[in-house]
Amino acid sequence: MAQEALEIPQGNEMFEGYRATFEKYGFSPAVKSRGFLFISGQVGARPDGSAPEDVAGQTEWALKRIEELLRIAGLDFADLVDVTSYHVDIEATLSDFVAVKQRFIKSPFPAWSIIGISGLSRPELKDEIRAVAALRD
C-alpha cells in the first residue's frame, strides 16, 4: 500500500461538518502509508466549528479529534509514535496543554516535538496537534 486516505464514515459526528473543508483545501484528516497513520494537524474546534476560549478546552477537543481518527483506523493513543504540537504564546499556555495531554496520552510515550508559533488558521485557536501512529499488523 503506497498511501490511502482514512475513510471517515458518513454521518460521523466529529468530522461530518468538516468534509467541505477537506475538499476545499485539498487534504485528508489522516492517511495510511507504509505501516503508519499520519494524522493532519487537529485544532481544538468542536464538531460545530466553534472553539473553547481556553487552551485546556481546545487541547481536549484536538485530542478528542485525534482519538476519533485513531478509533476509525482501529487504533488508540497507545499506537502513537510521534506527536508535534504547535502553540501560540507557548510560555503562557504550555502548562495547561500538558495537563490535558497527560489525561489522554500515557506511558510508553510517543516522541514529541513542541513548537511555538505566532498564529494558526483562525485567530482564536491556541494550539494544533499532528500525530503519527503505527498501524497494527
Whether the CB-CB separation of 105 and 80 falls below 8 Å is answered with yes
Predicted model pTM = 0.95
Give residue-wise pLDDT tens across range 14-54.
998 888 888 889 899 999 999 999 999 999 999 999 999 99
In three state form, how does the secondary structure of 94-114 look? HHHHHHHHHHHCCCCCCEEEE
| pLDDT of the residue at 1 | 61
| pLDDT of the residue at 136 | 94
Give residue-wise pLDDT tens across range 87-137.
999 999 999 999 999 999 999 999 999 999 999 999 999 999 999 999 998
| pLDDT of the residue at 64 | 98
